Structure 1
């Protein structure tokens, strides 16, 4: 049967089942093939348009697959390639907007390669597990993404809001397609695993890498339109009409999205604005200035207002117009109040990198509110430029988040110690009689500097200072004591790798102690020379006791477990390596002897009661 005849037979059969005419069915098939062809051409077109960016994405996918298969840590290479991929995409859009010659394109691609190399050199010897590298990288990528969206529409007839809308739609399309593809492949793999032969579980991780790391970004790039270039003609003047049609379609707001934003999101945000404004007005003289929980809510609110204003820039309905008119003007005073509140918090607790970004974003939100209030939607690109500038400020020394917060926290710690006479000859003098406020400042600063890996920069602390082991001995009080109480917790541990010396003893028990304990608890039993003996933990005294007794209740030897905890109660909060001598306790008389080797112990004091627990080995011998 000829191909055409077979095709017509299939169409007729479909016609019979669906009730549609042959022509209608044929048109549906043609449209489906055309749509599929466009998608495939778009993917190949994005490879030609963004070759370097896709090369970086391919490298990321390969390295992730290697990491999954071998457990090698390639995170620094991954981050460098991520920076290279986004900067290469931004460089391509900059070339399309401002240049024509391929020499300029090659130079911009070379700049992207250099940016990836420079980033790798910057983080090659850095501790990537700390927050600094992660935060700086996230902010850098965020700025590059907005550069990718803003550069192709600078001083163009197409506005930033339209570019943002195109990217917004493309993102959701790429995520939807990727999720469907991933779900389908996962179902196929699961069927093969259950029905044919077992598969390595890592095959799902490999699949996710290639779908979400390579396919999804490539598909996203394929949906980004070519914006008007230099002279409004773009790189290919002959195809301007077709590009304009594609551009209009991809930057237009879908009817569904317009309804969602105009009649659902905008009313909800408006109601929330009224509630938020009412809360601020009712609490402006009390809780508002110290309510740190409200901080994240206000940031989320500011982000939502700015995004909705950008997405609704081209909408003509009354809800959108009123929202664009009113919301930026309401946003400004709300964010100003939050900035003042954050500055008051910094005065008491010092500057941290997170609060730095809260304040910086507040300043950006105020500027964005002014732009949205004064300038027409066509000028929204200024918001992207401001965002990129603020991001650059936050990661470039000497005014970046980590440099400023480090110097501020060290200064706060030093001033608090000096005020309490705790600095002498460049070293800290312990002082346990500080006010709760000063204790909190010291603990907060030391913890922050420890979490960011900056304790080695504090000249008056020992070079090997660690919070859990050395805080109490250095400052004279417990870092985790509850303010206003004498609460303190001490934990000690023995090195589990060290062998237990049982020479001279016949029996070995393992026991767990818990005080206060209300009932007798048998630790173990043994038989010797036809008699039965038991080792029992009993309440009583300052910490309980352990008794070795003969059947019938005859006591041979006892040990007061309070000795264990009286030895450790003056230790720092955590001591991770007890020496064999520190871990050993003994009891002996003319009938026997016991040895206790502590593996771990924890002691808590609340001013009225002492609580402790311990895991230990007990050695026993008779005389």
Structure 2
């Protein structure tokens, strides 16, 4: 009964969470509605959904600031207005972008991380409640909300399955709609309902009831204490010993060039910092030794890794991933110093540092993407200038440069192309495609291929209408240069006379042929016309108009029209060709 009462109180807390965070609730509900439309129609509204999520987390952080520093309703309304304005600004920024790129995604994730830690840290700035307690309350609330949401979703899924199996058919989208409601609406609101209201900055009087609520929210359960103290900390200690041994054994060799170690050390640093915060209030020897030793061990490990990453920059230049690795390494080293010399009650400094480093990484001109783009552009330009491959802002192909310089060019061009920065480089060709244009631009293969291969893809929009007036039949077939045998496309009958439409291969010639009842050839279309037309196009990938997609041939007996649905072609420097296509064939018999 006690547990049922507790669950009932927690569920009732959802109503309180909505009144406490009205804009956050509205944004999450809006995201769920938009996602419902996406599930139902299949159309993507990812920009709107992202804007709603950013707005929800931002408004939650602003509400935390209001609860800590302000009393008047006017201040709350002002902060809500700021939240709406910033969310609208974010939406307009990502809407103006050609597409949702990796850069936008990473910037958004980093901003959300900073806002989430601001939400945890703001209520306890210069408070009698420490950041450790706020972090523990948020940590527990997060996993509680995930657990309850998973149970609710699992139960609803079983109910839907039972109804679908035993009573009436239910569309498969019902599961997606259920997950949408549970994880986008219920889970975050349930999380917020578990976060206590912290004392305001001006509240000097002791509030026993409020203190009890916060203490319960920040209390470390026995299960979690055992997990942290007697399982996670010993395992971390063993891993630390292995890591130190590896560094000592390879300090003069592979450690400085082993890039695979970077993600492992980032994960290690994250683990140390989180466990340190969670163990900050635990009163046992394992937790005490961890707080005493591990921050000091973290510092040299991270410093060595920062040095290793910086040394590799000479060969690869700065990429956004390496930027984040180095920046997080600097943060971890600073965090190690703070944890070593500052009392655990002041761990809020770590949150402030994380927010500051996150802001540095995404706000120009020193953000990860601006710095990485400039670094790769400079590295590419330096190699081109050193090899006399750049003149009057035009690249001069040269296949005789050193292999080391070729690798640098390939690395920089690959990165700039992946991040869609090539159009910002003044000397790069317009609409540069690394796979199709690299050889013609630089004079050598990007991936060591023995020959240059040109790829072309064209297609007709599915919704594009096809005029069939004047033709007797329309059929569909595929064309593949690898086919060696003849095959029938379809039989046609008109005025009691039977005809056969065939695909035939004769030598290197591949054609679509209409034959009469005596197998005589009535009309022939050579598919080479298709590929010779498109291989001469300047674009390597393009949408076709109906006129561009249509080929016709006619004589006094019949007329054929071939309409390309899609075609893929490649031809190598030694004129070895391959192509395939899906086409519509229209036949008119006179």
TM (normalized to structure 2)? 0.82
Tell me the residue number matched to 2:440.
473
1:42-441 equivalences under 5 Å are 42-233=13-204, 240-441=207-408
CA distance, structure 2, for counterparts of residue 102 and residue 496 of structure 1: 58
SS in 1 for 2:202: helix
CA distance, structure 1, for counterparts of residue 485 and residue 402 of structure 2: 43
Structure 1 residues 614 and 482 mapped into 2: Cα distance closer, same or farther (>3 Å)?
same
Instruction: Report how far residue 216 of structure 1 moved.
Output: 0.8
Tell me the residue number matched to 2:455.
491
Instruction: Report how far residue 346 of structure 1 moved.
Output: 2.0
1:370-420 Cα deviation digits (max 9, x unpaired): 111111111111000000000111111111111111111111111111111
Unaligned runs of 5+ in 2: 467-474, 490-501, 512-529, 552-562, 584-590
1:541-556 equivalences under 5 Å are none
Structure 1 residues 197 and 98 mapped into 2: Cα distance closer, same or farther (>3 Å)?
same
1:436-451 equivalences under 5 Å are 436-451=403-418
SS in 1 for 2:455: strand
Deviates more, 1:268-277 or 1:99-108: 99-108
Contact 1:128/1:134 (CA < 8 Å) preserved in 2? no
1:91-125 Cα deviation digits (max 9, x unpaired): 22222222222222222222212221221222220
SS in 2 for 1:124: helix
Structure 1 residues 605 and 285 mapped into 2: Cα distance closer, same or farther (>3 Å)?
farther
Contact 2:136/2:219 (CA < 8 Å) preserved in 1? yes
The ranges of structure 1 where at least 4 consecutive aligned residues each deviate by more than 6 angstroms after the TM superposition are 496-499, 508-515, 520-525, 534-539, 543-546, 564-581, 597-607, 610-617
Contact 2:61/2:122 (CA < 8 Å) preserved in 1? yes
Tell me the residue number matched to 2:559.
none
Instruction: Report how far residue 324 of structure 1 moved.
Output: 1.3
1:533-555 Cα deviation digits (max 9, x unpaired): x999899xxx9999xxxxxxxxx
Matched residues, number? 575
CA distance, structure 2, for counterparts of residue 513 and residue 217 of structure 1: 53
- The yes-or-no answer on 1:463 pairing with 2:430 is yes
Instruction: Report how far residue 433 of structure 1 moved.
Output: 1.7
Cα-Cα RMSD: 4.7
Structure 1 residues 176 and 601 mapped into 2: Cα distance closer, same or farther (>3 Å)?
closer
TM (normalized to structure 1)? 0.77
SS in 2 for 1:230: coil
Structure 1 residues 281 and 545 mapped into 2: Cα distance closer, same or farther (>3 Å)?
farther
Instruction: Report how far residue 611 of structure 1 moved.
Output: 10
Contact 1:288/1:341 (CA < 8 Å) preserved in 2? yes
